[in-house]
Structure 1
Amino acid sequence: MPDAVAATGRWYGLATVIVAMDQGSKWLASSELAYATPVKILSWFNLTLHHNEGAAFSFLAGAGGWQRWFFAVLALVVSGMIAYWIKELKPRQWQLSLALALVLGGALGNLVDRVYLGYVVDFISVHYRDWYFPTFNVADAAISVGAFLIIIDSVFNTVTDSPSNETGHS
């Protein structure tokens, strides 16, 4: 059991690091960038401060304020479920644990913004000529990578919770 506890702590620790990186980068962006004024880093990459009052891709951003608490409660419930899921996984299920820790850290990072600011700070802007991907942040990137890894794990991973047929019965 100590291995399981250590593994769980490792994943919660990773989620905490994601929250810290997310909050630190958002603080820096909010301190150093003028709102909606792009700072060109590369031909396809800018830093541009935006405030997202909605969910992904500003979904429900203009809904009148109720969405702030709806998304906060939703993030809290989902984070609780993910934290429990991580705790229940076996140490050999590290790929899924990694993916869930990324999603958990990202969800909590954006939750902090939503509760304390009423919006999520976004500042990473990727584009190709005049086509701009919606501005995002470190938490969004962690959630996206984590979700991708969950899909990969569900398709390719053969590690399961079911015991193997070790009794010799057919």
Structure 2
Amino acid sequence: MDKFGHWKVKINQYMFNDYSEVNWKLYDPNGNHAGEHNVHGNDMKEMKDYIKSVNRPLEHMMPFGVDMTVSNPHDVNKCVVNFSIKKDMPGCKRFNGGVCRPYMTTETFTESEFFMVSVCDLECGWLNLKSLLEPSDLWCQDLNDADWEQMANGWKRVFECGWKGF
């Protein structure tokens, strides 16, 4: 298995009144299960979890972890999910000198906020370096195809996102 291949995470998200829940399942580049976890709570402004591979030989582990932050987890119109890779892009610095790490954020249900992705290409470019990732190496399923659905007195959605190891 090539740990520098494309990893995929399947997200199940639920909200009922002030209750929110999100669970993720991670799949390696061969499509094998590589980890999962669940976070839930009431009256939360955001939910955080750490996506990582578990119970695998070192050579089959994902080469980094990913911080997942769900903002506005009980507001179907404002909810977004941010995935922030916990690995610095080698040699690339932000304009203020800080390290650069790739990230992506889903769009909102109403698309008042659009899908965003950064692979540090600007931060690398101003130093005449090239990012190890292309923007297409970080992706999420189009949420128009995996939209929120009403479920009893709440909402649910299931969608997939992914990234390339580096």
Structure (1 or 2) with the greater strand fraction: 2
Structure (1 or 2) with the greater helix fraction: 1
- Whether TM-score is above 0.5 comes out as no
TM-score (norm 2): 0.28
- Flag the structure with more relative contact order, 1 or 2, with Cα contacts below 8 A and sequence separation at least 6: 1
TM-score (norm 1): 0.28
Bigger Rg, which one: 1
